[in-house]
């Protein structure tokens, strides 16, 4: 009697095993994965640490993902940050922040005046000064000023420097030679004195 080989019964994979995904993930799953990677990037993790956090045994739902794919997701996240931070967006964010600081300054100054006779007023005044300092930095008012001096039309100024005459330049050549010989004799006498005292 011939025995037929049967396939051994398959056991279901434990829930902690990484899920294998063939092909491209669905868009909603891809967006959730990218959001999770973005959170880990913002937490300061490197690509290797993010890969380990998503695929390692300590992950509650480990997934199959290569380190190269993690780096690709990180680059895509950085591109999305750059797209969101256009010049117009930055200007709008700066204007909102300035408006919030102005409101905080107004409130703190008003409360400081109301509580001028107590320590609470001093605390509000400190809050006002800090908000004012941030407002000044945000507006760029603390930046060093640059003064550029130029001629009409933007042409550079020509600067000529004339050095004052030295009286020795107007000496007769014989007088100059006599002075140089005298200076040399004085220096030799000083050197002789130093040698004699040593």
- 77 & 94 share domain: no
- 100 & 79 share domain: no
Q: Is residue 93 part of a domain?
A: yes
Q: What is the pLDDT of residue 153?
A: 72
**How much is the mean pLDDT over the chain?**
80
Q: How far is CA 20 from CA 49, 71, 106, 194, in A?
A: 21, 19, 58, 94
pLDDT over 70 percentage in the chain: 80
Number of folded domains in the chain? 2
Q: Which residue has the higher pLDDT, 15 or 48?
A: 48
- 73 & 101 share domain: no
- 31 & 78 share domain: yes
**Domain limit, last residue, from 124, 139, 154:** 139
The answer on pLDDT for 21 being more than 80 is no
The answer on pLDDT for 92 being more than 80 is yes
Q: What is the pLDDT of residue 31?
A: 85
Q: What is the pLDDT of residues 105-131, one digit of tens each?
A: 999 999 999 998 889 989 999 999 999
| Least-confidence region, from 13-27, 66-80, 83-97 | 13-27
Could you say which DSSP state residue 12 is in? P
- 79 & 95 share domain: no
pTM for the model = 0.37
Give the ranges where the chain is alpha helix by DSSP (H). Answer: 27-42, 47-55, 67-84, 87-114, 119-139, 173-197
Q: What is the pLDDT of residue 16?
A: 47
Distance, in Å, from the CA atom of 115 to the CA atom of 124, rounded to the nearest integer, reads: 8
Q: What is the pLDDT of residue 89?
A: 79
Q: What is the pLDDT of residues 23-49, one digit of tens each?
A: 677 888 888 888 888 888 888 889 889
- 74 & 103 share domain: no
Residue 15's pLDDT band, with cuts at 50, 70 and 90, is very low
**Domain limit, last residue, from 54, 84, 114:** 84
**Domain limit, last residue, from 66, 84, 102:** 84
- 55 & 76 share domain: yes
Q: What is the pLDDT of residue 22?
A: 56
Residue partners of 25: CB distance under 8 A and separation at least 6: 33
- 73 & 111 share domain: no
- 97 & 131 share domain: yes
- Residue span of the structural domain in which 109 resides: 87-139
């Amino acid at each position: 009697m011939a025995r037929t080989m049967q396939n051994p019964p398959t056991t279901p994979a434990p829930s902690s095993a990484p899920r294998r995904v063939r092909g491209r993930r669905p868009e909603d799953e891809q967006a959730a994965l990218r959001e999770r990677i973005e959170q880990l990037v913002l937490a300061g993790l490197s690509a290797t640490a993010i890969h380990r956090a998503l695929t390692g045994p300590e992950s509650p739902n480990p997934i199959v993902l290569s380190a190269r794919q993690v780096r690709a997701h990180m680059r895509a996240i950085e591109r999305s940050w750059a797209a969101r931070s256009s010049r117009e967006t930055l200007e709008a964010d700066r204007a909102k922040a300035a408006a919030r600081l102005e409101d905080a300054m107004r409130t703190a100054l008003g409360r400081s005046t109301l509580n001028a006779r107590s320590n609470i007023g001093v605390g509000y005044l400190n809050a006002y000064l800090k908000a004012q300092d941030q407002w000044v930095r945000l507006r760029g008012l603390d930046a060093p000023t640059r003064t550029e001096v130029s001629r009409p039309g933007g042409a550079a100024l020509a600067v000529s420097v004339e050095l004052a005459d030295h009286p020795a330049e107007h000496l007769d050549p014989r007088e100059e030679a006599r002075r140089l010989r005298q200076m040399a004799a004085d220096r030799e006498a000083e050197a002789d004195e130093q040698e004699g005292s040593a």
